[in-house]
Amino acid sequence: MSQPSSKAPGAAGTGAAERGPSGELHQSAGGDVPVLTTSQGIPVSDDQNSLKVGRRGPSLLEDFHFRDKMFHFDHERIPERVVHARGFGVHGVFENYESLSDITSADLFQRAGEKTDTFVRFSTVAGNKGSPDLARDVRGFAVRFYTKEGNWDIVGNNIPVFFIQDAIKFPDLIHAAKQEPDRGFPQAQTAHDNFWDFMSLMPEAMHMAVWIMSDRTIPRSFRFMEGFGVHTFRLVNAEGKSTFVKFHWKPVLGLQSVVWNEALKLNGMDPDYHRRDLWEAIQNGDYPEWELGFQLFDEEFAQAFPFDVLDATKLIPEEDVPVRPVGKLTLNRTVENFFFETEQVAFQTGNVVPGVDFTNDPLLQGRNFSYLDTQLKRLGGPNFTHIPINAPRCPMANFQQDGHMAMRNPKGRANYEPNSWGGAMGGPREDPERGFRSFPEELSGQKLRIRGELFADHYSQARQFFLSQSETEQTHIKDAFVFELSKVETPAIRERIVAHLLNIDEDLAAKVADGLGMKEMPQAAEPARPVVRDLKPSPKLSIVQNGPESFKGRKLGVIVTDGTDAGLLAELEAAAKAAGALVELVGPKVGGVTLSDGSTREPKQKVNGGPSVLYDAVALLPSKDGAALLSREATAKDFVSDAFAHAKFIAHSPDAEALLDKAGVEKDAGIVELGKGGAKAFIAQCAKLRFWEREAKVHAV
């Protein structure tokens, strides 16, 4: 029996909602709302019901609308990237500081103030597309420049070195790092036998091993991490002179990471933490910025440097070759559709422009092949450059034609070259002056499966990196090795890793062995080349020693309740705003709290949904009654105890004492009681980010 329709009012200019005979809701077109159509443009009358024989009969095969809709849905997933599957992309602009025509003919570096559109994708390496953001992992840092002479991609990481020296080992590395194939886990983790078995048998990976066990692999945010081009490239000027270059991205806000326990809890509370952070920063107008820097050196330096500049497991310390700032990258626009842009973007190391060229780094050479090859599988055919996010934003002309999903084809008679058709009919022609030219490097030698002699030094720079870290960071590296290797079930694998660590730092090896409960120390692994033990530490390699100078860009979490001192809260918010930091209120309920002056505020987070791991520092401003209430709430106590354990700066009102006591907090210099005028001093103290002196007191093992 039919039912009377019931109409619901629609918003002005958006059509009206109307219920059908079975109660389903139909949204009709009207005003500015377009008519719903099939992919062929046919208007749809009913998108709620498939075509049937009678009310309860079978569905009809002739229902082309259902077929069209389901056909597309069934095929709307493309294969995820084998590596860097978990990513987030945003748009930006790069502004050049000055003309660099003396070192490169690349068009974007010819004029001071030149602005170039960019697209940047940050990512993790090992995890699948649905893995959490705070996995301990390398972060991809890929930048595309849409230049006037084509797309240039710097496809790098947030670490300046890599695991392997030759691309032929890349499939083995990724297979070992991913889920073990017989069981399909662990996901987005390297704490398992396969990965460390591979690493223990690859001495060349030991430099990277120390980096990935450092805080570099658990960054606080994309906004607070460095980026590197990893490889040595060439810049070539108009006269054909070549200069070697390494690319660096330096965050204007400084460096910052989280601690391991914090990362674990963030993954549970907000697996999209990095994505959300970048999205909110751009939406708030706090545009993230990086300076692009060049490390420039010539052939003479390369020959004299004690390591091979073509070895991707090595870096050049900034103390030896300073980084020259050449321009600023500003990320200022989020994507309109995640799939359309972020998922379909196809970065390639082989995308270079005139004035930029490759070197013979064997890892780079292999990447140049692999990145292009993989697009055929992911994006369905050779025409992936027709997708807007991949299309150059400069004039394009060639004779490539046809293939899956061709959006453009040559016009006119000519689809080959050379041809004798003149003018526009003949199509595009080469330009010997403007066209890309490879640097004419002289090469000779036998065809051999071998590497350069200096590639065989696997421990010296690993040792240099470790000794360049602060004591706090060295402890974190030790703890990370112990955690990862404690998940390895095979004792021989653990022993081989410790044997490698003995060549890096004996104290580190001893502490890792002790943390694992090893009864005997293994013999040190035999190095292929003697370890250089007198390399000077490079302070630029430390996060703690290169932290921010202010609290700008960070977030302060403030616990409030009914009766919170309105003046104290206002003073704290004003101090944070002046420093360029965000304040987020956390309360017993999100519906609102009434402050001491009778005003009301709505917390952004409920206390059991807004833990302190979401914030860089915290303030506890409950009223006396509010503190008594929260001291009986487990998650409120966790808020305080976690902030304390993670060495965060904590401000509190006098009324918060009960909450501090219940959380078991022992006061130190990183815990500040706020009085009138004290908020500004507290925010200034927060510029240090952590009260690291506390860590030794809260971690006994």
Instruction: Give residue-wise pLDDT tens across range 319-350.
Output: 999 999 999 999 999 999 999 999 999 999 99
**pLDDT(2) > 50:** no
DSSP lists the bridge partners of residue 74 as none
- Average pLDDT in the 118-126 region? 97
Q: Lowest-confidence range among 36-45, 82-91, 199-208, 215-224?
A: 36-45
Q: ∠ CA(134), CA(140), CA(142), 5° rounding? A: 140
Taking each helix axis from N to C end, the angle separating 506-516 and 491-501, rounded to the nearest 10 degrees, works out to: 160
Q: Lowest-confidence range among 173-182, 247-256, 323-332, 412-421?
A: 412-421
Distance between CA 199 and CA 177 in Å, rounded?
10
- Look up the CATH architecture of domain 87-188+206-390: Beta Barrel (2.40)
Which of 65, 91, 151, 157 does the annotation list as catalytic? Answer: 157
59 vs 258 pLDDT, higher one: 258
DSSP assignment, residue 492?
Answer: H
**pLDDT(578) > 50:** yes
Q: What is the pLDDT of residue 622?
A: 97
- Average pLDDT in the 280-303 region? 97
DSSP assignment, residue 43?
Answer: B
| Dihedral, CA of residue 376, residue 381, residue 386 and residue 391, to nearest 10 | 10
**pLDDT(7) > 70:** no
Residues 6+ apart with CB under 8 A from 150: 351, 353, 392, 394
Q: Are both 87-188+206-390 and 550-698 of the same fold?
A: no
Position 25 confidence tier, pLDDT thresholds 50, 70, 90: low
Enclosing H/E stretch for 26: strand 25-27
Q: What is the pLDDT of residue 10?
A: 40
Q: ∠ CA(11), CA(14), CA(17), 5° rounding? A: 70
**pLDDT(605) > 90:** yes
| Dihedral, CA of residue 309, residue 312, residue 317 and residue 321, to nearest 10 | 40
Domain boundaries, the chain: 87-188+206-390, 459-544, 550-698
What is the Cβ-side half-sphere exposure of residue 470, based on CA atoms within 13 angstroms?
Answer: 12
Q: What is the pLDDT of residue 517?
A: 97
- Average pLDDT in the 639-646 region? 97
**pLDDT(405) > 90:** no
**pLDDT(268) > 70:** yes
- Average pLDDT in the 511-535 region? 97
What is the Cβ-side half-sphere exposure of residue 415, based on CA atoms within 13 angstroms?
Answer: 9
Which of 84, 91, 231, 476 does the annotation list as catalytic? Answer: 84
Q: What is the pLDDT of residue 33?
A: 84
- Average pLDDT in the 408-431 region? 87
Position 410 confidence tier, pLDDT thresholds 50, 70, 90: confident
Instruction: Name the maximum alpha-carbon separation found in the chain.
Output: 91
Q: What is the mean pLDDT of the chain?
A: 93
Cis amide linkage into residue 418, ω under 30° from 0: yes
Q: Which CATH superfamily is domain 459-544 in?
A: Catalase, four-helical domain (1.20.1370.20)
- Average pLDDT in the 106-117 region? 97
**pLDDT(701) > 70:** no
Catalytic residue status for 390? no
What secondary structure, in 3-state letters, does 174-232 show? HHHHCCECCCCECCCCCCCHHHHHHHHCCHHHHHHHHHHCCHHHCECCHHHCCEECCCC
**pLDDT(217) > 50:** yes
**Amino acid occupying residue 49:** N
**pLDDT(39) > 90:** no
Catalytic residue status for 128? no
The answer to whether 566 touches 493, Cβ cutoff 8 Å, is no
**pLDDT(619) > 80:** yes
pLDDT above 70 covers a percentage of the chain that reads 96
Q: Lowest-confidence range among 420-429, 535-544, 683-692?
A: 420-429
Q: What is the pLDDT of residue 363?
A: 95
Tokens of 94: 């790069």
Q: What is the pLDDT of residue 700?
A: 61
Position 12 confidence tier, pLDDT thresholds 50, 70, 90: very low
CATH topology of domain 550-698: Rossmann fold (3.40.50)
